[in-house]
Chain A
């Protein structure tokens, strides 16, 4: 099963009600099963530049590699599964590119971006993220937050200083503890998850989840799972109706069919020996 037939992807972004610029960047490549979302920060248009570089570098790096190599192979350098290694490497590369641009152009000094990205392969997906952009999963009726924000607020929740209910009242909401492009190196968080047919994934910038409650996100995704374009539009509209204080980006991925990687007889035989 080809990835582009198994996955339905819709991506939409909006600058919101208050901001003149849209500092978010989004991109998708259905044939590679790749989606990338970045929320940039920095003065003037530096935020747009940072998120733009992040998305461009990641898309180019991953699609180029996957043209020649099967996603079920192992990475030569690290021995990890190729998609895992690819995602990590492309995030490091995006970090280096942004950091370099920031060092060489004074107007971009200090720019950075969040990233959340998913690469689908062989009935699984690898998710990488830095910062407070999120990935949610709707399976059946249940909405689950798959990523954990790299934010001061999340750290406060983790160490028990503040309850999840109280967190909505926090004044520290938008302080991220990790970002891409700020330092010479970055620590992306990367995990592999199993994917089931019928799953729906939502990648979003904080402009969505700060304005729309998880319960409302759930009811929109559940009711509109048959019409992804409308679901994306509804999510953005709800965020704007609630004030739209930040840029809002959403990428929706619906798993229509299984997408196991076809294996050659030889590799199956090898697997059998290894097992």
Chain B
């Protein structure tokens, strides 16, 4: 569950560190949480700050700096599989939190609060409630308390349908013009006056009348208030303008 850093040199694993503290320091000096005894590493080189399920990498003004995934950086919001380079050493950040979360835990809103007696009562009985008290400094959140909250998973972008489609205007001054339907919603007409929209959904493209006296027609059928799914080479007519809808691949 807890995220970890794996230290290696030239591809050889040296040590694994669990990010069990709010703040873990990295440096040459022996009082660091992660000690790298190499002259290219500053005595206090960098720190990893963990809040809840998120971790941040911060350069603490080191002489030789650090890079994440090849990019030199001062501060970085760590993502699973990020590779941190300090001199010749690499630290790989692993956070399998996302993959361990079940779909049911998605997006459940929870309350957080700093350690206090009422919290414990809630946490034990309600199971999915933690609370974070207003005004408590973010960096001082108690890790153990946070761990009690059930895991939440960040939403991943849902893949949009791969099909590409466009409309081409067939008559009038704009005849021949082509409009790719790349957005989720494409507006035909002027809001406040006369509008129909073309929407892209996982199951295909739809045309819907929104407002105005003119209702669009598809292949001669005038639309009602309901959306209508478009088929390849459908002929759309709206306020005298004829358009053809077609798939591009």
Interface residues, chain A, with chain B CB atoms under 8 Å away? 18, 39, 41-43, 46, 106, 109-112, 114, 131-132, 150, 152, 155-156, 159, 161-163, 166, 168-179, 182-183, 187, 206-207, 210-211, 216, 219-220, 222-227, 230, 234, 237-238, 241-243, 245-246
Contacts and interface: CB of A to CB of B under 8 A. Distances in A.
Contacts of B17: none
Contacts of B192: 225-226
Interface string B177-214: 00000011101000111010101011000001011100
Contact of B109 (A109, A132, A156, A222): A132
A177 B184 contact: no
Contacts of A207: 107
A178 B128 contact: no
Interface stretch (B38-46, B52-60, B86-94): B52-60
B110 interface: yes
B149 interface: yes
Contacts of B175: none
Contact of A175 (B97, B132, B134, B155): B132
Contacts of A237: 201
B184 A219 contact: yes
B112 interface: yes
B210 A171 contact: no
A25 to B, nearest CB: 14
Nearest to B137: A159
15 contacts: A39-B109, A43-B128, A109-B122, A131-B109, A162-B77, A171-B95, A171-B98, A175-B130, A175-B132, A177-B111, A210-B107, A222-B191, A224-B210, A224-B211, A245-B107
A209 to B, nearest CB: 11
B125 A182 contact: no
B107 A175 contact: no
Nearest to B188: A223
Interface of B: 49, 51-54, 56, 77, 79, 95, 97-98, 103-104, 106-113, 118, 121-123, 125-134, 138, 141, 149, 151-155, 158, 183-185, 187, 191-193, 195, 197, 199, 201-202, 208, 210-212
Contact of A172 (B53, B123, B126): B53
A171 B154 contact: yes
Contact of A223 (B49, B111, B185): B185
Nearest to A20: B104
Scoring A39, A172, A220, A241 by chain B CB atoms within 10 A of each residue's CB, the highest score goes to: A172
A43 B138 contact: no
Contacts of A242: 155, 158
B107 A110 contact: no
A172 B138 contact: no
B158 A234 contact: no
B53 A245 contact: no
Given A166-B77, A225-B191, A237-B201, 9 more contacts: A39-B109, A41-B129, A42-B126, A170-B77, A175-B132, A224-B210, A226-B212, A246-B106, A246-B107
Given A171-B54, A173-B154, A174-B107, A110 B191 contact: no
Given A110-B129, A162-B56, A225-B191, A206 B109 contact: yes
Nearest to A16: B107
A150 B130 CA distance: 14
Given A170-B54, A182-B111, A223-B185, A42 B134 contact: no
Contacts of B155: 173, 210-211, 242-243, 245
A150 B112 contact: no
A232 to B, nearest CB: 13
A59 B107 CA distance: 28
Contacts of B128: 41-43
A243 B158 contact: yes
B158 A177 contact: no
B52 A176 contact: no
A179 B211 CA distance: 39
Given A155-B138, A172-B52, A210-B155, A245 B187 contact: no
B213 to A, nearest CB: 12
Contacts of B98: 171
Contacts of A174: 107-110, 152
Contacts of B53: 171-172
Scoring A109, A183, A237, A241 by chain B CB atoms within 10 A of each residue's CB, the highest score goes to: A241
Nearest to A186: B134
Given A132-B109, A161-B56, A225-B191, A230 B208 contact: yes
Ranked nearest first, the 6 interchain pairs of A and B with the lowest CB-CB distance are A226-B211, A110-B126, A171-B53, A110-B122, A246-B107, A223-B187
Contacts of A175: 52, 110-112, 130, 132, 149, 152
A241 B125 contact: no
Contacts of A219: 183-185, 187
Contacts of B191: 222-226
